[in-house]
Structure 1
């Protein structure tokens, strides 16, 4: 089943821009974005996907994703390595667009213009 969602994508490399992107939020596409098997952490109306073996694979820490998570009430900053993909979810756990409040917070933290 195809689920096109708007995601907030936060690369680990500080030279790469944080971006909003519409994509098919299926497992294979998430794996492609994070570069391997995925792990997710949920907080309220959003969740973040990242590479489950990021530490073992020696991927760089994602400082921006860690900061966004911390500012949003989730203090697992050191857990995210490599690319982070933020999405929302429905009340039944299906993928949904990243919540607007998370986009606004990211735009403020990283001083970038993000539009959903």
Structure 2
């Protein structure tokens, strides 16, 4: 049984709000985010799951901005929903880091934390 973690979800469509929600991570949940092959971009204490193919979905400008502002140089365009989580080591999932949530709040001018 998977333990839920708190994810920062950044939808591609601007009409859908950036939000925080608990998720149970399994391959089905990740494929719902990616709707195909699951890709991953990692920072120091966080990572984002997204669609690795990226051609079927709307460009995700907000996720690109968040990833760049968090210190990662992107060499590609992000498409579709991005789900940000934390990690305590390279293989153990954790809640999205507070600093990443605060950065998203500042960038997108919206309160996310309860």
Q: TM-score range by the shorter chain?
A: over 0.9
When normalised by structure 1's length, the TM-score is: 0.91
Query: Quick check: 2:8–2:19 contact (8 Å CA) kept in 1?
Result: yes
Specify every segment of 5 or more residues in structure 2 that has no aligned partner in the other structure, as ranges: none
Tell me how large the CA RMSD over aligned residues is.
Answer: 1.5
Query: Quick check: 2:48–2:83 contact (8 Å CA) kept in 1?
Result: yes
When normalised by structure 2's length, the TM-score is: 0.92
The answer to whether 1:32 aligns with 2:32 is yes
- Name segments (4+ residues, structure 1) moved above 6 Å: none
Query: Quick check: 2:33–2:49 contact (8 Å CA) kept in 1?
Result: no
Question: Using a 3 Å threshold, how does the CA distance of structure 1 residues 99 and 10 change in structure 2: closer, same or farther?
Answer: same
Match of 1:9 in 2: 9
Match of 2:54 in 1: 54
What is the deviation of 1:65? 0.3
28-37 vs 98-107, greater mean Cα deviation: 28-37
